[in-house]
Amino acid sequence: MLSKSLTIVNQRYQAIKDGEDVIQGLTQTSKSLPPKYFYDDRGSELFEQICELPEYYPTRTEAWILSQYADEIAQITGGCELVELGSGSSTKTRILLDAYQKNAGDCRYVPIDVSGGMLATTVRQLQQTYPDFSIAGLQGTYEQALSHLKLQPWSSRMICFLGSSFGNFTRQESDGFLSKIARALKSGDYFLLGVDLQKPKEILLPAYNDSQGVTAAFNLNMLSHLNWRFQGDFDIKLFKHEAIYNQADGQIEMYLHCQKSHWVSLEMLDLQVFFEVGESILTEVSRKFDLGIMQKQLEVQGLKTVKIWTDPQQWFGLILCQA
């Protein structure tokens, strides 16, 4: 009986520890939640759907850049351990893996994602497609993964952070993230970073307010994720999705707006929160970048730019750096 009680106490302690960022975000005057809570298995599926939307330009634009320049990237780095943060279904990464198969002949691929279900499925598929490559997934957040990376048996390592997720960090958070990247590399190793570039809001806004409502479902699913993870009782119908463009700060901001005053409980966090009608939760900031400024930020962290590739419209950029 005592052992069972201790297990329950320990589970609650661990939940509170894991959910400290939720407690902090929902008890502030201006409520917010970290974007990592988008990505349970359902959230990851919805994001894959977002990537196929006609309004969502980042995925297809970055895929075009990779299709044009993956061979060049593989030739520059040679055979290496390729570690990808936030790998999802690794759809775009297959372009890189094909290039390494053709140009380098050897590669070890380590996809990293918080969604265990999607990660397991992706690894099985990739092992069948690339039987000559060593492929092993690692489930966890970026921070957990970077701290668990071991010294590689390969001559070099390349950490990839594709997509536009780098824009979810504040400037201070992005400096800390790049510092962790630099510590996970030895001299001569590589870092491949995808960044969404500044462009007119007429292009940006539809990408985050799509006509099919998939982004809205993705945003609202964050509350469902909190419900199952922390035994919560968010009523999804009482919140509405909106994305705006903050021109002064050069960033998209995604919100969930409360439609009716009510209380929400998250039992595992021992937390009760009151929402006023009209009150909002900031769920994501997506900064858009200038390549010159980005290069300087990378160089401060000891990551020197080797080459930059963009699309003809300069909507998106891929930056290859070397430690």
Q: Distances in Å between the alpha carbon of 141 and those of 40, 79, 87, 274?
A: 12, 26, 11, 29
pLDDT score of 138 = 87
Q: Tens of pLDDT along 201-239?
A: 999 999 999 999 999 999 999 999 999 999 999 999 999
pLDDT score of 8 = 38
Cα within 13 Å of Cα(154), Cβ side: 25
Q: Distances in Å between the alpha carbon of 304 and those of 41, 134, 190, 300, 309?
A: 36, 28, 9, 9, 15
Q: Tens of pLDDT along 257-296?
A: 999 999 999 999 999 999 999 999 999 999 999 999 999 9
pLDDT score of 7 = 37
Query: Using CA atoms, how far apart are residues 83 and 169, in angstroms rounded to an integer?
Result: 20
pLDDT score of 4 = 39
pLDDT means per 10 residues, the chain with 323 residues, are: 40 64 96 94 93 94 97 94 88 92 86 86 91 88 80 80 92 93 93 97 95 98 97 97 96 98 96 97 97 97 98 97 96
pLDDT score of 147 = 80
pLDDT score of 3 = 39
219 Cβ neighbours under 8 A, 6+ residues apart: 38, 241, 254, 256, 283, 284
- Contact between 57 and 210 (Cβ < 8 Å): no
